[in-house]
Amino acid sequence: MGAPKLIISDIDGTFLNSQGRVSPRLRDVVARAVRRGVHFGLATGRPHRWLMPVLDQLPLAPICVCANGAVVYEPASDSVLRAFELSTDAMRDVVDAVETALAGIPHGYGVERVGTSALEPEEECFLITREYNPDAWDARFGVVTVGELIGVPAAKLLVRCMDMSSAEMFELVAPAIDPSSAHVTYSMDEGLLEFSCPGVNKATGVSVLAARYGVDASEVVAFGDMPNDVEMLAWAGMGVAMANAAPLVQDAADYVTASNDEDGVAAVLEHWF
């Protein structure tokens, strides 16, 4: 592949190191690429409200694909450019399927609602049920019933089970989900499944970004480390998995680079820039 016209990277476990930092080496090579006219973006499972700690480490504010492709967000104008929302009926179907698949196993639900700004109150955009088993920061989230949770369309529906890994949950739940109702994936190992609109994944959001820039998929290099990156890596002209990536992600990639703690993204980009 020649020099890409669009660079897309997952954030956690890929663009950030284990300390949650963008290394000076990576920041510098991205800046060199952008100065040469290359477009750059981030594609993450995070909601757009959680981008600031990452963007604050960069000398630019790229358009980002968030919520596993369901939201395309422009930080410079604090605006949602495109959103693919999961319908209330689809969420009800998912909840019914999950209740059967995880019967007798403690679990809870959450949703990420799109909103219009990254500055909207967290408790209005990220809602959970009491069974969601919140982490330390979850005190900021709104606590509602399942009925209230799925009563408004959302970017993502989440199912959390602290007694299982995400892969174990996926094995039980995914076969029960009708693909015409929702797309299911996961971006972390600690008992969390993520549901989006049917057919919506990171590749969906990145293709919106590529079209905006007039870039073909063959001219895109994409980086990732978790199952929610698989479709994006397969779609891009060059899909790169991290050394710390899950095996199925490495199998889906064209190339495996060094880990996020060894500047794996920078090592690939330095080949061109």
d(CA 56, CA 258): 25
Q: Extract the runs of DSSP E, i.e. beta strands, from the chain.
A: 6-9, 39-43, 64-66, 71-74, 79-83, 108-112, 126-128, 142-143, 156-160, 183-185, 192-196, 220-224, 238-241, 255-256
Q: Among 10-24, 107-121, 249-263, whose mean pLDDT is lowest?
A: 107-121
**Model confidence over 46-88: pLDDT tens digits?**
999 999 999 999 999 999 999 999 999 999 999 999 999 999 9
pLDDT of residue 142: 84
Residues forming CATH 3.40.50.1000 domain(s) in the chain: 6-83+200-269
Average pLDDT over residues 32-57: 96
pLDDT of residue 150: 96
Under CATH, which number does the domain 88-196 receive?
3.30.1240.10
Residues forming CATH 3.30.1240.10 domain(s) in the chain: 88-196
Task: Specify whether the CB–CB gap between 84 and 197 falls below 8 A.
Answer: yes
Mean pLDDT taken over the chain: 94
pLDDT of residue 190: 86
**Model confidence over 191-233: pLDDT tens digits?**
999 999 999 999 999 999 999 999 999 999 999 999 999 999 9
Residue 150, classed as helix, strand or coil, is coil
pLDDT of residue 138: 53
Average pLDDT over residues 127-134: 83
Write the class of the CATH domain 6-83+200-269. Answer: alpha beta
Share of the chain above pLDDT 70, in %: 97
Confidence band for 136, pLDDT divided at 50, 70 and 90: very low
